[in-house]
Structure 1
Amino acid sequence: MRRLWTFVPLFSLLLGMVLFPGKAVQAGNQESKANFTDTDIEAFIDQEMKIQMERFNIPNAAVAVVADGRVGVSKGYGYADLQQQTPVDSERTLFRIGSTSKLFTWIAVMQLVEQGQLDLEADIRTYLDFQIPGQLHHASSQEPLAPITLTHLMTHTAGFEDYPDTIFRLEEQQMLPLADYLQVYMPKRVFPPGEVAAYSNYGTALAGYIVERVSGQPFADYIEQHIFTPLGMKHSSFRQPLPVQLQPDMARAYRFVQEEYKEGRFEYVPEPAGGMSSSASDMSRFMLAYLQGGRGQAGRILADETIRSMQNQQFTQHPLLSGTAFGFIEGSFNGERTLFHGGSTMLFDTGLYLIPEHKVGLFVSLSGGSYLAHTGLFQAFMDQYYPTAAAHDPNLTPPEGTMERSRQYVGEYQQNRRSFTTSERFLSLTMGLIHVQMDKEGYLIVNHAGEANRFVEIEPGIYRNLREHRTQDYYGDFKTIVFGTDPMGNTMLMSDGPMTYSKAPWYATSSFTFLTLIAALLFIIISLIFWMLRAIFRLMRRSRIQQPRWANAGVGAAIGFGVLTVASLVGVALNGQIDPVYGLPNAALGILPSWNPVLDVLPWLMVEVGAALLIFALLALWRRYWKISGRIHYILFTASAWIVLSLFMYWQLIS
């Protein structure tokens, strides 16, 4: 789970079967697309892991592959401790698996559903000891909203906004107990439940707390007793920090910075949303149990029919798009339906992929790299063992009338997984944007995840990607996009998995916001420099110009606003510096400088001085202070100041 950060399981393994040493077998009861041996698979994974580890400077990784009821590959790569040169042991070495942890939260929920203690369609407030608002944050009426259910939480359609800077901490004392976390960082409800897919860490944490409340056990205790023990997962834990006996087995996480590996610290994450640590061998036990109808080494974790229900699609924004099952994300990889879930912390990246039809699963976790490492590994495997003819048709041409229909979709689309009501709203201008343009032939050019994709209309509002290879989209292959309308009346772009994007009005686009902000700030700063140089020049010449007291006060207010603006920019720049190891600003890690409270005050001082600027600008016009050029300059300065303040207010930087 990453930030807004990005991650992308685009990974699905289709190991159509694994065999007994040296002997080809078929996966499931179906005719296999490819035959291979354990030795062949291991050699292939060795080769591809070497490629990915060199490409992304990965110091350690572990991979497990299961098929047809047995483990085909379980292997470690690199060093769990670079300094001690300790090799990764797939049985014992633990990796942080990030949002892949969510799968265990959903298993726990379904266990309690089986026991009749939870109802998937009941209002979750019946299970909580604190209140969740019954209305949308932006709603003008007080009409009650439909309740949030566990089904909504499990399909990421509860309608919560997202706060990315509340996820990761580096100190144990900074991570609040689960009950406190859920109340202190409760997000606003911004969409009606069941209508808009927007991936939510908070929603999963909420479900984990419901497990605690209903079972009467702390979340980590419940998972150990009811999932880890039946599956024989002795090298897994949700505890943070890890239990003493597991701490020596934790893989040290590194990031390759300035031609050397730098070690990161243990990351604290809300338990149910991404706090789990596990080994590749333990995760192979989980995959086998899930693919075998819930049977583990020492008992069942779920009934077979419950597992089957969890594998069914539970939500999609459109019939042509992949959606979500209970807990898993749907995908189509080389023509095979895949259930997967990725997970990224600041230091680790993980992917778990299941092909239920063939009883195949693959798990990979690594530190120091990129989600592109395990997606690249998977795609290489699929192309090697399960190649399929290209499903796309590069010769598709836009149908008649496409220019008129497609023009309405041109614009900037921002993630619906974002904050709508806090200063983090500003991050939506810097992360996860999709830009849609139209060329002169009527094709849509869709820029997403750093790639340009060419789409052709196949039906009104439905477009097919002409790209031959997979994209870097985290939740699917980005082969089809569908345009519709979100609950607030905005054009919405829908793609695979639990993610949607809404079209921003022109005044809320990143280009307009940044260009306008930069222009206004430049004018303010240049004016400030001009006034300071003029003052120095007059001082050197010992010349004094007599001006009315109010005129001098007006200049002082303008200089004061300029100084406050520069101070704010410097403070934000210092606070927003990206840590080279963790890839996030310190503020997102809960690390704030002692002078940070000053940053909270500066915007309000700017508002007060901005109000004074308006008064002095009117006085300058009325009493004709300065020359005409001076009055024009002052009015433009005041306008620039209020442009900056208006943008700050719109993006909740002043609230």
Structure 2
Amino acid sequence: MGKFRGFCLLIVFILFMNVNSISANAIPQGDIVETFNELVEEKVAEANIPNAVVSIVYDGEIIFEKGYGYADINSEILVDPNTSLFRIGSISKLMTWTAVMQLVEQGKLDLDSDVNEYIDFDIPPLTGSTPITLRHLLTHTPGFEDYSTEIFTLEKDNLPPLHEYVRESLPERIFPAGEVLAYSNYGTALAGYIVEQASGMPYTTYIEENIFKKLAMNYSTFEQPLRESLLEYSVTPYRFVDGSFSEAAFEFMPVPAGAMSSSASDMARLMIAYLQNGHFDDEKILEEKTVQEMFNQQFTHHPTLDGMAFGFIEGTFNDKKVLFHHGGTMMFNSALYLLPEEGLGIFMSYSGGNHFVHNEIFQGFMDQYYPMEEVVFAPVTKGTNGSIEKFAGEYHQNRKSLTTADKFISLVTGIIQVETDKDGYLYATHAGETNQFYEIEPGVFKNKRTERTPDAYGNFKTIVFEEDKHGNMMLMTDGPMTYAKAPWYASSGFTFVALALSILLLIGTLLSWIFIALVRMLLKKQKDKDKIASSAKLLAIGYGVLSLILFGSIAINGEIDPVYQMPKDAFSEIPEWSIIFDFIPYLIIAFSIALTVFTIIIWKRRSWRVFGRIHYSLYTSTALFFVWLFRYWNLF
């Protein structure tokens, strides 16, 4: 009897401990709602966000959904989390990846087959690379270059249908497949086209029938523009500019990569389905093993880095595994976060802000409910910091173009500047903030900062340096982003300083010649009788005027729109009259050649004094530098 009583006490103790364990891991739903609501309200006010929406799911239920602000300010229509349609940008890609995995389950697609087997056009091979597969597309490793100025448009007629888009916008392959993480919108569009080819139905129809209807996502669509029955639920985007909200137009973008409009309630259903292994109520969109495969890491550059699952981006926030995807259009920013081990999902969307807002809200939530233990930093030792100087330099995103004018964008977007000090620390400046790193093993560095850092795809907690097979230094971070060390002549510092000095020389020369000409006129001095020298000077003046016109056109076309926050020529029609600027580069090349010839002649003839000849030679060198610079960056 005593043994039985002891056994019962042991069982009660075990049960008690399990209950305590469950309670310790569970989050009071009321607290979640209150805390999250406060975080959102604070950030919405701080960032002047006109409209926002949130939904949170926990343990298979929607525990919070709320709209903030107005879906339409003029009509004073409030945001409704059940029906208000926000543009969710790249979160749309999750529909494409879900569709691909459904067709894999049906045996209609194979993750490791050449994608050319599924399409009716050819993707050319790349020397030294294996064929591109769906596995590469799902992990953003197909090796395509990326065109950031060909994603958005405000005119429906400017966006070709999917079957034309995948042919006409086929990018160059710049990396071997499966070797380099480089986020690819085209890769997702191609996967969407493969869904069409394998299923035998249009992409939008397939998603409607196999995802939206099964999950009762009645306020979700890929249609551009929205059909009549959904127009009244469309959220109007605004941005706070000069003290008031400016309205923006509907954005058109490649359908499978970012065109979805959805409500917070619909996105909550999607999150529940993923967190419940593909099931929602009595419906099923994926098999359990498929969901688990999608949640597992499929690619990373280094064991210490979060990489890519199938479609989802891996993240570690306060030591918790998070699967997430962000979405950004010119006007909307959205985020979807899943914590599978906690049964928790969070969705946010808003217009008029930036991706830092949802990063900060989510990090604030994690700090509240999953606080980090105090971090003890290991001291830097001589054994680890002996050769970190080789990592110093400027790094550019590998998500870039090498063959179009978009190449120049790599000088202004996503640059990481790396410096080292004598104490063995490394400093990485990214998005305007500098973080201090210490080396934990050769080439692997940990951030000493524990709070959020401004990185769109990860926490920027760990960075890894490795040389590729060509000897180029690579910088790798969490998520689908990698960076390559730029040579000195392609760095932003060299390019912009050299450009500024050259423009100053050009303008200074023109002004000095004009001044000298005016003085000569006032003093009634005779004109220069050396016709060769006069012709050389007139040629240089003509070149200078053409160059200033070209720089002026670049400045006008490259001006950032205050509402859409992109250069106008990146999303709108270029005026027909601007075609005249297309001829200027060819004239500048011709003038540069002529300047070179005249430089040789004036030195042979000893025209002007030595200083004048040196000045003219510098002027000609500047002209040749401009030709090289503009050709290198594909600007003409």
Shorter chain as normaliser: what TM range? over 0.9
1:195 is matched with which residue? 179
1:38 is matched with which residue? 29
Maintained 8 Å contact 1:230/1:297: no
1:5 is matched with which residue? none
2:81 to 64, 83, 90: 90
* Amino acid in structure 2 at the alignment position of 1:578: I
**Offset at 1:188?**
0.6
* Amino acid in structure 1 at the alignment position of 2:382: E
1:56 is matched with which residue? 47
Name the CA shift for 1:537/1:252 in 2 (closer, same or farther; >3 Å).
same
Partners of 1:72 and 1:454 lie apart in 2 by: 39
Name the CA shift for 1:28/1:208 in 2 (closer, same or farther; >3 Å).
farther
Maintained 8 Å contact 1:34/1:386: no
1:393 is matched with which residue? 376
Structure number with the bigger relative contact order (C-alpha 8 A, sep ≥ 6) is 1
Q: Which runs of 5+ in 1 are unaligned?
A: 1-25, 136-142
1:334 to 306, 314, 318: 318
SS in 2 for 1:231: coil
1:365 is matched with which residue? 349
The two structures, once aligned, show a CA RMSD in angstroms of 1.7
Deviates more, 1:291-300 or 1:330-339: 291-300
Counting only pairs closer than 5 Å after superposition, residues 562-581 of structure 1 correspond to structure 2 as 562-581=544-563
2:61 aligned with 1:77, yes or no?
Answer: no
1:491 is matched with which residue? 473
* Amino acid in structure 1 at the alignment position of 2:77: T
* Amino acid in structure 2 at the alignment position of 1:227: I
- Give per-residue Cα distances to partners, 1:408-455, cap 9 Å, x unaligned: 000000000011111111110111000000122110011012111000
Maintained 8 Å contact 2:437/2:447: yes
**Offset at 1:234?**
0.2
Name the CA shift for 1:221/1:482 in 2 (closer, same or farther; >3 Å).
same
Partners of 1:51 and 1:197 lie apart in 2 by: 35
Q: Which runs of 5+ in 2 are unaligned?
A: 1-16
Partners of 1:94 and 1:29 lie apart in 2 by: 41
1:10 is matched with which residue? none
Partners of 2:326 and 2:400 lie apart in 1 by: 19
SS in 2 for 1:362: strand
Maintained 8 Å contact 2:128/2:176: no
2:191 is matched with which residue? 207
Deviates more, 1:430-439 or 1:480-489: 480-489
Partners of 2:306 and 2:420 lie apart in 1 by: 25
**Offset at 1:628?**
1.7
SS in 2 for 1:230: coil
Maintained 8 Å contact 1:95/1:279: yes
**Offset at 1:205?**
0.6
Maintained 8 Å contact 1:97/1:349: yes
- Give per-residue Cα distances to partners, 1:495-533, cap 9 Å, x unaligned: 101100000111111101111111111101110111122
2:192 aligned with 1:241, yes or no?
Answer: no
1:171 to 134, 149, 155: 155
**Offset at 1:598?**
2.3
1:11 is matched with which residue? none
Structure 1 length normalisation: TM-score?
Answer: 0.92
* Amino acid in structure 2 at the alignment position of 1:133: P
2:578 is matched with which residue? 596
- Alignment length (residue pairs): 620
**Offset at 1:537?**
2.7
Highest CA radius of gyration, 1 or 2? 2
2:207 is matched with which residue? 223
- Give per-residue Cα distances to partners, 1:166-206, cap 9 Å, x unaligned: 00000111111112222222111000000000011010011
SS in 1 for 2:386: helix
SS in 2 for 1:418: coil
Maintained 8 Å contact 1:393/1:466: no
Maintained 8 Å contact 2:426/2:437: yes
2:524 aligned with 1:542, yes or no?
Answer: yes
- Give per-residue Cα distances to partners, 1:560-582, cap 9 Å, x unaligned: 11011100111011111111110
Structure 2 length normalisation: TM-score?
Answer: 0.95
SS in 2 for 1:481: strand
* Amino acid in structure 2 at the alignment position of 1:108: A
2:496 is matched with which residue? 514
Maintained 8 Å contact 2:427/2:434: yes
Maintained 8 Å contact 1:63/1:90: yes
Partners of 1:559 and 1:29 lie apart in 2 by: 83
1:356 is matched with which residue? 340
- State the identity %: 49
1:263 is matched with which residue? 247
SS in 2 for 1:246: helix
2:461 aligned with 1:470, yes or no?
Answer: no
* Amino acid in structure 1 at the alignment position of 2:315: G
Maintained 8 Å contact 2:360/2:452: no
1:305 to 289, 299, 310: 289
1:502 to 484, 501, 510: 484
Partners of 2:546 and 2:469 lie apart in 1 by: 39
Partners of 1:269 and 1:260 lie apart in 2 by: 27
* Amino acid in structure 1 at the alignment position of 2:422: K
Name the CA shift for 1:80/1:650 in 2 (closer, same or farther; >3 Å).
same
- Give per-residue Cα distances to partners, 1:433-489, cap 9 Å, x unaligned: 000001221100110121110001111111111112121111111111111023442
2:306 is matched with which residue? 322
1:455 is matched with which residue? 437
SS in 2 for 1:605: helix
Partners of 1:361 and 1:235 lie apart in 2 by: 19
